[in-house]
Each structure stands twice: as structure tokens, then as C-alpha cells.
Structure 1
């Protein structure tokens, strides 16, 4: 490899005293589905994550609840369940949903009932930023106290910097923003501190130009197996040998569409922009980029391409871009 990894020891593994052997949640953590609130307009608060389920519905994690869009109307499925600010969404391989919150842990939703997992059940922290399902069906949660791994019965929690040989020692090093498992089975961990690679035994701090990647917000693997890192150091692509910088601007979210184009939400001189990097030029040092300023400089968040090729993105609500026009779904 043409870059250096700073080696360190395995994640510090710790077991939560509460809930480690639980297989069932307390009865007060299980809530029946309430009457849904359905409207013709979408959320009007911060929308962090947008996903499409296997039935074609669009789901949105917002600071005003979890919304589902069926192509005609929006339903706030958590309106009567929790007042929490929701951050992330996962539809697992069984078709069930996981919703993360800032302060209330995570909710499991089977389409009829909700179950709330918190620190009392073994979760590392009730502020959960990311949710990921690995190849074995294990669910991972990125929290403000490290990563939690849930096998369907118990939680196992990992901290990122407990006395380890990391470059930075800030108090938020344990904040885990994003987790993915690549095609080789290695886990890429994005934190507010140093980004790391975890092979199941050891942790490796990721570096560029001799410096660690810090405050990485999103990591994805594209169809060709390239790894993309987005955060305070900008947007970077790893091709298995070297890291290549695409932009130095802060990038919050990154997404690959079906044509192989890379989309980002990032900060620029005009404020926050939605960018599309052309798939045919990604191998060059300066890929062709189209920049869209859709929301008068306001902060932008998660990105989704739906099954019709439209690009959805979150901001102070949810927006859809069809390649020509942007639709605002707020009231």
C-alpha cells in the first residue's frame, strides 16, 4: 500500500451489566401501533435519513417523527408512540424496521408493534446516529459511546479509544457516525475522532498524507468495491491501494446511484449544495461535477435514489429532484 496505517489494538470490548442476557424486553417497552396520522404533505423539520423499502415506500427519519410516503400521502408512524427526534432508519433482511433516536435509544417496528431498546437493555448509549445490518444479519448501532452489536438476543458494545494508541484523544472520539462491512468482511468505522478499519481482531487507524481521517460522517462501498469517506477532510475514494481526494470541502453524506454517479451533500462558498460526480469521470483526479444549490444555503442531509431514478434529500423537510425540478413536500 502507498499509504501508512497507524496500528492499534482491538476495540475495547465491554459488556453492559444490564440487559446483557435479556431475550425479551420489559412489557412497558412494547407499544402497540397507534392510529396513524396521514397527511398530503411531508415533514417540516430536519430530515436526516431517507430510505426506500422493498415495497417502494419512502421512509424518512426526521426530528418530528418517522414518516412513510406511499406515493400519494405521508404517514407519521411514530406520532402517537414517541416524541423523540429520529436520526436513522434500517429495513432488515426480514422486512422489519429499526429507527434510531437522539436520546431515546432505538425502536424496532414489525409493522404492527414497536419495541424500544435503551441502555437498560444493553445498548451503549441512547443517542444513536447510525444503524447497519452486516452479512450475518447482526444489527450494528453507531452511538455517542461507541458501537453496539445486537445478535437478536444480547448487545455487545465497543469503545474506540479506551487507552488505545489513537492519534487524537478528544472526548467525542467514541462517537460512531457510520459503519459498513466491505466485500472482504472488514468493517469500516467512521467516528468523530479517527476513522478505523476493523478486521475482527485488530483496529487500524486510516490515514492520508500521514494524518488520520477525523470526523468522518459517512462511509459507503460502491459497486466496484471502492470505499468512499466523507467528512471534515472532504470526500475521498479508496481503490484498494491508495486514497484519492475528490474535494476538500466538508461533506456530510455520500450516495451512489444506479448509474454509478456519486452524490454528496456538502458545504461550499454558496452554502450547502447537492453535488453529482459523473460516473464516467470518477477515475480522474478531477471528476466532472454538477452542483445544485437547492435550499438557499441551508444545511442538507441524507440522500436516496428511488426506484424511478429520482434523487431525494433531507434538509428542513424532504425534497425530490427529478433531474430538472425540485419538489418541496412541506405544507
Structure 2
């Protein structure tokens, strides 16, 4: 199927993976971490898809082919150097202090600081291509995969797919709102789950939201997300438009027609996004800040913090208020005045 004016992440890969609908006990598959971690003063040169922070304040970086890196303010430690070449996509520290690493080619790894436990479809994961990791308020770990959503309770997996009502098996991002509703950004129609039923959410024109990668909930409980809507069909060609959307619990409002790949709200209430200026994803990508004082106006005030002719990805506000964001070629930090690029300009980590 052809697309016109499609906002799409440039490095999206189509995975042909089987989707297994079953709940399976996960045996222990431990990998010893005897090899010393690789340490460098430089950050990764490869694509950084997501950036998180652990309870100690360290920055956790998921670099596609560069591994999972931990930055302590002085140096970068590669926590996955003993796992070999993997295509890492997301990272999460759960409430117990375990680190979860998702990959798009070999499932997920759980690291307790001493050893790794590896989970794949063999243990019950819906697919070995895992795009996101999320912990809900009940302590369940959710994995957004290309074969559906997998929920892990510490012992076994339960998978949710189109057979259970999920709108699309390709899951990009997961969010639990303050009411306990789970929102799933998918490569097809986006939907939410109330614990019993999956519901596709639509705008006032009855159009569903497609290809959602970034989603967040603000202090008022409003949902912000980037998506495309199908405006027309011409044979096998879809005419779609991109945009940043705001949902106040009653209505969906389109803020602009820019592409959006990641969204967060900072401590002051500002909304930050990364995305392409051109809805088709070609050309400049920007890090933007929507001012909290005008956030609920028809046209919120927006400041363009950085523009680059390369893809920008996940965003994090660190404990010190600095903004970290990933890109096609490494990770950046913005301290309110200066943008720091941690790459080794010689190209070696």
C-alpha cells in the first residue's frame, strides 16, 4: 500500500515475526556478567532511540547498535558489552531496581546488576522485536512488540493481540493514565484498554489515529500524542496528515501539522517534542518546547530549541532539569542555555 504525505520514522523496520497467543512460565536463563563493562568518556555515535534515568540519577541510553549505556556525569559505561551485537531500542529501571533492555532482534534482557536474564518467544514473549518497555502502577512490566503487547507479572507472560481486541499488533509506545487506563500507540489504529475492553480512539470527524510513537499525560490528566489521520483513499494509496494532538478527556484538538516522534512534560508543565518539520519526515527535525502558560490555547507558544537535518528521537528531563534527547547519531543534553553533543568527533567510542 502506498502512502502520500506520511510522517514515518525513517528507521522503522518491518519485522516478520510470529505472534504466539499464550501464557507461558518463564524459566531462568541467566547470563553471567563476568566480563568487565566497557567505559568511555564519549557517548554513542549510533542512533539513540530512548533516554531514561535511574534512581541514582544516572542517565540510561538505549543506542541501537551501541548498547545500553549508563552515564554517571563523567563517563559512559556500556552495560551490555558482554551480550554481543544487539539492536537495542528501549531501557527501563523497574521499582525493584532491575534494568530492562529491549531489542528489536533478540527479545528483552533483565539485569539485576550481577547477571542477565534473557526473555524471548521461547519464554512466552509475543515477539522478539520489542519497541518499548513500561511498568504500570501494579508493578506489571509491559512490552510493546511487533507481535502484540506482552505483560509480565514476574513469573509468566500474558499476551494481548488483535485476537483479544487490540487494534494492531505493532506496538510503538505504552502509557498508563492516572485513571489506570492503558494507551497503546500502534502502527495502525491507536487504542486504549480499560482492563476489559480495547477501544480505538477517534477525533470528532470519526477518524482514528495512526502510527503513534510519542504519548504523554500532563499534570491535568490531558493526553498529548503525535499521530497521522487518514484523509482519503485512492485505490491502494492512503492520503494521510500528521500532527500533534491534545485530548482533554472530552475532545481531541490538533495543535499543528508537524510530525512528532517523542513527547514529555517537564516539571514546570512545558511540553517537549521531537519531530520533523515536514510531515513526510524529510528535512529538518526539531526539539520544541510548548510553553505551559499558553498550553491550552488554540495555538500554544512554541520555541524551537534545536533544528538538525537528521532524525531526533526520545526525550528525558533529568533530575537537574536538563533535557536529554536521542538522535540518529548519538545523544544530546540541553541545560537551558547550551546543547552538548557527547559524540567523539573522530567517530570512535
What TM-score do the two structures reach when normalised by structure 2?
0.84
Deviations 1:149-187 (A, max 9, x none): 000000011113x49696xxxxxx310011111111111
Aligned partners of 1:31 and 1:81 also within 8 Å: no
Q: Say if 2:341 is the partner of 1:323.
A: no
Among 218, 223, 247, the alignment partner of 1:238 is: 247
Q: Does 1:15 align with 2:22?
A: yes
Structure 1 position 30 matched with structure 2 position 31: yes
**Aligned partners of 2:48 and 2:61 also within 8 Å:** yes
Quote the residue 2:183 is aligned against.
188
| Distance in 1, Cα, partners of 2:249 & 2:49 | 30
Q: Note the C-alpha offset of 1:106.
A: 0.3
CA gap of 1:113–1:67, structure 2 versus 1, over 3 A, is same
Deviations 1:188-238 (A, max 9, x none): 111000011111111111101210001111221112211111233321111
Instruction: Identify the residue that residue 117 of structure 1 maps to in structure 2.
Output: 119
SS in 2 for 1:194: coil
Residue 79 of structure 2: which of 77, 92, 102 is its match?
A: 77
Q: Which residue of 2 aligns with 1:301?
A: 313
1:96 Cα shift? 1.0
> Once the two structures are superposed, what CA deviation does each residue of 1:261-285 show, in whole Å capped at 9, x if it has no partner?
0000011145100000000101101
Q: What are the ranges of 5 or more consecutive residues in structure 2 without an aligned counterpart?
A: 1-18, 229-241, 345-349
Call closer, same or farther: CA 1:236–1:112 in 2, change over 3 Å: same
Deviation at 1:34, TM superposition (A): 2.1
Matched, 1:280 2:293: yes
Contact 2:20 2:121 in 1 (8 A): no
* Local SS of the residue matching 2:313: coil
Change (3 A) 1:163 1:42: closer
What's the counterpart of residue 66 of structure 1?
68
Query: Which stretches in structure 1 are left out of the alignment for 5+ residues?
Result: 1-11, 167-172
State the SS of the aligned residue for 1:280.
Answer: helix
Give the corresponding residue for 1:87: 89
CA positional deviation for 1:32: 2.4
TM-score (norm 1): 0.89
Q: Would you say how many aligned residue pairs link Structure 1 and Structure 2? A: 306
1:38 and 1:165 mapped to 2: Cα distance?
42
Match of residue 224, structure 2, among 209, 222, 228? 228
Counterpart-to-counterpart distance in 2, 1:292 and 1:318: 15
CA contact (8 A) 1:249 1:268 kept: yes
Select between 226-235 and 71-80 the one with higher mean Cα deviation.
Answer: 226-235
Q: What is the SS of the residue equivalent to 1:302?
A: strand
For 2:82, what is the secondary structure of its paired residue? Answer: coil
C-alpha root-mean-square deviation of aligned residues, in Å?
Answer: 1.8
Cα distance between partner residues in 2 of 1:15 and 1:306 = 38
